[in-house]
Amino acid sequence: MADELEALIAGLSQPQKSVSPKYFYDEAGSVLFDEITRLPEYYLTGTELAIMRDNIAEMAALVGPQASLIEFGSGSSYKTRLLLEHLEDLAAYVPVDISEEHLLASQQRVRQAFPHIDVLPVVADFTHPFQLPDPTTMPVRNLVYFPGSTIGNFEYDDAMKLLRVMYQEAGQGGALLIGADLQKDPEVIHAAYNDSAGVTARFNLNMLTHLNRAFGADFDLDAYEHRATYRPDEGRVVVELVSSHKQLVHIGDATITIAKDEAILTEYSHKYAIKTFAAMANSAGFAVDRVWTDPREWFSVQLLVRD
């Protein structure tokens, strides 16, 4: 907690103030994210799910029997159900997530639906070293699963670090099945992060409620507005909270001055070109075995393998 507070204060003390997007995900934030996935503008989840449905038989055949399925940022494990249904004779399912209550409640439901599967949830921040449990049955290989384009919430260096961690966790003969959102019409992307029902705005603002509760901060919850801008030249959405007036925020023993109209960066959401993503995968040691997309080529699910 002391390290977390220190990192938070450091982020809020830079000329460009920022807070890690991991603070979106308290219990309320996880529920709001689920609501986002059902929005008509938020094409990512529906498109990825359709890709999974269309190709699940081939995916399961490529992975083979008795794998251990390790998921980073599992959320509600909704898309994962397809893998749990189709992967043959799964050795274990290990969902990893930072949002404790949501993870445990989701896995209760997964256990009920798949009583024959060894479900071993891990509450952890996957950007720091963490321990994975040993399944009761020895797996033939590991399949790391990282759906949702959550990789896109990391800047290049941190995304590379995470891919290297997943390379290690995949182990010899293992693989990474990863969802990566693709570059497309900027208006489509803009709408996905500026939905008409205002759910993304509530999701973004909830981060401050979370920080006030978890760290005793005193952000004025009424003073901020959601802003999300797609920058095609950078291939990413920039998500911010913009302060309507000057204020002092106390967090730990720090006092942060936030100017009128100043923006706190809360998230990047990178949109990839298939080629750039392949270069990242290769730099992490993976070979790109398969890339599945939808007919509009809006989203990709990729099987990255290691030898």
Binding site for ligand SAH (CB under 6 A): 22, 25, 30, 33, 37, 45, 73-75, 79, 97-99, 125-127, 147-148, 150
**Cα 205 to Cα 96: distance, rounded to the nearest angstrom:** 25
Tokens of 200: 């993304």
* Contacts of residue 171, Cβ cutoff 8 Å, sequence gap at least 6: 141, 142, 306
Nearer to ligand SAH, 181 or 258 (CB): 181
**Sites for ligand AVI among residues 182-211 (CB under 6 A):** 193, 200
Member of 8, 19, 32, 36 binding ligand AVI (CB under 6 A): 36
44 lies in the binding site for ligand AVI (CB under 6 A): yes
Helices (H), the chain: 2-12, 27-37, 43-63, 80-86, 100-113, 156-170, 186-192, 199-215, 274-283
- Contacted by 37, from ligand SAH, ligand AVI, none: CB < 5 to 8 Å by type: ligand SAH
CB distance 95 to 126 below 8 Å = no
Nearer to ligand AVI, 86 or 202 (CB): 202
Q: How many CA atoms lie within 13 A of 88 on its CB side?
A: 10
99 lies in the binding site for ligand AVI (CB under 6 A): no
Q: How far is CA 169 from each of CA 97, 163, 189, 220, 224, rounded to the nearest angstrom?
A: 16, 10, 32, 41, 40
Only segment of 52-60, 81-89, 118-126, 143-151 that touches ligand AVI (CB under 6 A): 143-151
- Contacted by 193, from ligand AVI, ligand SAH, none: CB < 5 to 8 Å by type: ligand AVI
What residue ranges bind ligand AVI (CB under 6 A)? 36, 44, 148-150, 152-153, 193, 200, 267, 269
